[in-house]
């Protein structure tokens, strides 16, 4: 980055981070990195995720939880989750644990408090890792087809695929509108005490930018929905023949079975390990 840009970086942090989040989201939504779960049948990927979303809540044993955490961490590495999403997770994870630990310490807890909180944090982190691995591997079309195959309401399936498709355009448009506001507005005379003028300006720009955005999105939504309805969207989503045609490409092969079997074996392995080396959270 040229030095001039770097010098301006501090001033333009909010725009830069909008840009940054935009790129990061696009990378996540249209994952082309490949990986372990990306080539599997989406229904099985969702099943895989559900296993790890539910199992951690059945145990109090730190060994089991650590094992599950490790399995999910390996899955995240194998699914090639992007470094920025992962960094965000680690950052939030560390910050949250520090914060909770501080709160418990501040109000006079001891080691058992810490252990109880570690248990909870491990559970949440495991679920979070699993969801990262699963949803990074699914592109919007696959996800919405899988949801439809699992009998989710057609509106939800549609919302997922529409949302992911529209997102880049909306972000772009929002950015343009905000830039327009910045160009037309006079620069602030001074940041004020603690930069309150900057805060007020940022807040009011964000709010004002939603006015044209709402109108434009309304127009665009009508176009999309009318085009869809012309093709019989609502009818096709409910009619069994339409469903069958749309979901015909979902085919499970033996690798999907292997994935689920291996997952169940690993989870069972974690619980066996917990039996052998129990490390229950003793409270009281």
- Chain positions 6 to 45 lying near another protein, rule: CB under 8 A, are 14, 17-18, 21, 25, 28-29
When asked if residue 122 is in the footprint of another protein (CB under 8 A), the reply is no
Kindly state whether residue 198 participates in binding another protein, applying the rule CB under 8 A.
no
Binding positions for another protein, 72-91, rule CB under 8 A: 81, 85, 88-89
Cα 62 to Cα 66: distance, rounded to the nearest angstrom: 6
Q: Which of 91, 34, 79, 83 is nearest to 52 (CA)?
A: 79
**Identity of the residue, 34 or 87, whose beta carbon is nearer to another protein in the bound complex:** 87
Query: Judged by CB under 8 A, which stretch of 36-44, 179-187, 222-230, 250-258 contacts another protein?
Result: 222-230
Query: In the complex, what is the shortest distance from the CB of residue 187 to another protein, in angstroms, rounded to a whole number?
Result: 21
Burial 132-167 (b: 16+ CB within 10 A, else e): bbbbbbbbbebbbbbbbbeeeebeebbebbbebeee
Q: 């010098």: which residue's tokens?
A: 7
Contacting residue, 45, 62, 75, 143, with another protein by CB under 8 A: 143
The correct pick among 9, 229, 253, 275 for binding another protein (CB under 8 A) is 229
Q: Is 54 in the site for another protein (CB under 8 A)?
A: yes
Best CA proximity match to 60, nearest among 259, 265, 284: 284
The span from the CA of 223 to the CA of 204, in Å, is 30
Q: Out of 70, 149, 225, 236, name the contact with another protein by CB under 8 A.
A: 225
Q: How far is CA 153 from CA 38, 166, 212, 224, in A?
A: 24, 20, 31, 19
Total binding residues toward another protein, as defined by CB under 8 A: 77
Pick one of 66, 101, 171, 279: the residue that binds another protein (CB under 8 A). 171
Q: Which of 112, 182, 245, 268 binds another protein (CB under 8 A)?
A: 112
The answer to the question of residue 131 lying near another protein (CB under 8 A) is: yes
Residues written for the chain: 284
Q: Which of residues 202-221 bind another protein (CB under 8 A)?
A: 203, 206-207, 210-211, 213-215, 217-219, 221
| 104 touching another protein, by CB under 8 A | yes
Hey, how many other C-beta atoms are within 10 angstroms of the C-beta on 284? Answer: 3
How far apart (Å, rounded) are the C-alpha atoms in residues 164 and 5? 31
């Amino acid at each position: 980055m040229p030095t001039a840009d770097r010098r301006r970086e501090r001033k333009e942090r909010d725009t830069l981070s909008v840009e940054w989040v935009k790129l990061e989201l696009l990378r996540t939504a249209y994952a082309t990195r490949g990986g372990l779960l990306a080539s599997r049948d989406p229904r099985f990927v969702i099943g895989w995720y559900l296993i790890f979303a539910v199992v951690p809540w059945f145990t109090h044993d730190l060994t089991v939880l650590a094992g599950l955490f490790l399995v999910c961490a390996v899955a995240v590495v194998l699914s090639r989750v992007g470094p920025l999403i992962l960094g965000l997770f680690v950052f939030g994870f560390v910050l949250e644990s520090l914060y909770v630990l501080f709160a418990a310490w501040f109000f006079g807890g001891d080691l058992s408090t810490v252990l109880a909180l570690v248990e909870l944090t491990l559970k949440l982190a495991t679920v979070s890792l699993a969801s990262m691995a699963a949803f990074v591997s699914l592109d919007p079309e696959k996800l919405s087809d899988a949801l439809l195959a699992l009998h989710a309401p057609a509106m939800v399936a549609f919302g997922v695929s529409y949302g992911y498709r529209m997102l880049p355009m909306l972000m772009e448009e929002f950015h343009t509108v905000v830039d327009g506001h910045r160009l037309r507005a006079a620069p602030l005379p001074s940041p004020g005490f603690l930069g309150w003028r900057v805060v007020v300006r940022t807040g009011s720009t964000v709010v004002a930018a939603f006015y044209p955005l709402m109108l434009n999105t309304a127009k665009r939504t009508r176009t999309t929905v009318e085009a869809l309805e012309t093709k019989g969207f609502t009818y096709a989503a409910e009619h069994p023949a339409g469903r069958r045609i749309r979901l015909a490409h979902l085919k499970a092969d033996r690798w999907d079975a292997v994935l689920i079997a291996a997952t169940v074996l690993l989870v069972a392995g974690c619980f066996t390990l917990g039996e052998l080396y129990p490390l229950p959270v003793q409270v009281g």
